[in-house]
Structure 1
């Protein structure tokens, strides 16, 4: 019921306003919104998964148990030069078909079962395997115009679209995704995340609104070493999906977060855009804001909006994007979803709620709210990524470094 007119009338002394009912905080709750959290150790220190689990578990009520997941970087130093394929299978027949294709496409350096433990809340689990691979010489020769990364993307699309009952949910180097149907703390227990070490961790708790909760539909979504966790809803999904199809990306999961991962791969890896420019395409300034910019900035913003209009992410969102060597945090252009950042020494924390940071870092050096549409790019010392570049000036980089260190 809309009480706005009643409130205005009561304020003018014409009639009593409606009774304000005290909310029943112990009764049924409408809980929704998803939760995201991330930790990046900029000195490259590898930490186990306990902190990220503790952080995302604090936001338990933002999800509903239909999806939880984690991404980790620096995960497989013993196979750092191999693509780590994490694959889930519905049945042994799908496993046999997919393994035949993987064996024909790649040299398998090592393969094993992804370790799991019994968790009563986890039901109807798929079969999980992982493969550390390199494209075969014959495949490289046959697809001579494609890079190794291109071959991996093509292979992932083939499995996910053409092999029924098989899904590659992680395909990068020295990184891995662990996800499924359940609360994130249950998924962490299921995949034994306390046994893994990584310099960057991201996490997600899901409250699906438009799609069913299933194992492949949980976050993070990834392609190569890009992984995305997302709180919000992308109403431009149809436009984004059709745009990506022009470049060979098949969106097999019908979820908005999947297109974000592919768009990062397309604009940053394939089109070689700096991170800030790619993020401007995803969350561009409004036209009236662009018209008030200085000439040089206006020219760039106008060109990006015109060229990459189908890549615009319309709707409320906050996202954390992991990549080999760092992490990106980005809000929509009017900040319709919460996201807080903090720093402590050489660690950067980002989460949907400040409490999720303070539960693992009680006294951060600095806490701040991320501005709308302006990406936070965090990079790990000593780890280079040829695709991830910044267009910030040295002075701007210095200022951001001061901010991250808590001295600004």
Structure 2
């Protein structure tokens, strides 16, 4: 008797980049349709979409935070950005999954050096991690990441991925091997 394999043993990945400055940007709708063709590879256990733009979209940072520690996490971000001369413009919850909140912060960093920005982000991440409050999962001026537990179409719907047009997309449907995907934080969860 042959063993029955219920799920595939690998993730599904799709990437696309526009041909050049004279060509059209790639639509989120195309990316959602493409990754949906291999959605079975993730078995509904996690998906993400990453978009990269050549043009600046404003500095942003994505942070997964435990809901009960959200005030502490926001205080850490506010104080460190202020102490380093950055202006925190906006903090908003983009999604909530169980006890985890997906925060997006927008920060004005003016002409700060990449080394200074990296130092601030690493310090924020270290403080969040030490208190098991959360973790920074992306940051930059040309990036946005949409992540969660579910099939790609679920995550795309929650975050409105189809409305974006950009220079480069990477889509991923996750098949977890180490632990069940009950949180969107990947293999390095902070429960």
Structure 2 length-normalised TM: 0.78
Query: Residue 126 of structure 1 corresponds to which residue in structure 2?
Result: 100
2:186 to 217, 224, 240: 217
1:270-285 residue pairs with structure 2 within 5 A?
A: none
Structure 2: gaps (5+ residues): none
The one of the two structures with greater contact order (alpha-carbon pairs below 8 A, sep at least 6) is 2
2:172 to 200, 204, 213: 204
CA distance in 2, matches of 1:113, 1:150: 22
1:2-401 residue pairs with structure 2 within 5 A?
A: 29-44=6-21, 45-74=24-53, 77-79=56-58, 82=59, 84-91=60-67, 93-106=68-81, 107-113=86-92, 115=94, 124=98, 126-134=100-108, 147-213=115-181, 214-217=183-186, 253=188
How many angstroms does 1:172 deviate by? 1.7
How many angstroms does 1:164 deviate by? 2.4
Cα offsets for 1:65-110 (capped at 9, x unmatched): 111101101287452xx3x11122221x422111111112212342
Structure holding more helix per residue? 1
Q: Which moved more, 1:202-211 or 1:166-175?
A: 166-175
Structure 1: gaps (5+ residues): 2-20, 22-26, 117-121, 219-252, 255-408
Q: Secondary structure at the match of 1:177?
A: strand
How many angstroms does 1:135 deviate by? 5.7
* Residues 159 and 168, structure 1, Cα contact 8 Å, conserved in 2: no
Structural RMSD (CA): 3.3
* Residues 57 and 143, structure 2, Cα contact 8 Å, conserved in 1: no
Aligned length: 182
Cα offsets for 1:162-182 (capped at 9, x unmatched): 232322211122211111111
Structure holding more strand per residue? 2
CA distance in 2, matches of 1:112, 1:130: 6
CA distance in 2, matches of 1:164, 1:126: 12
* Residues 17 and 26, structure 2, Cα contact 8 Å, conserved in 1: no
Cα offsets for 1:139-191 (capped at 9, x unmatched): x8xxx9x8224314423531441232322211122211111111122111111
* Residues 152 and 171, structure 1, Cα contact 8 Å, conserved in 2: no
Instruction: Quickly say closer, same or farther: Cα 1:217–1:111, change in 2 above 3 A.
Output: same
How many angstroms does 1:38 deviate by? 0.4
* Residues 55 and 142, structure 2, Cα contact 8 Å, conserved in 1: yes
Instruction: Quickly say closer, same or farther: Cα 1:78–1:34, change in 2 above 3 A.
Output: closer
Work out which of the two has the higher radius of gyration on C-alpha atoms and give 1 or 2. 1
Instruction: Quickly say closer, same or farther: Cα 1:94–1:51, change in 2 above 3 A.
Output: same
Instruction: Quickly say closer, same or farther: Cα 1:108–1:126, change in 2 above 3 A.
Output: farther
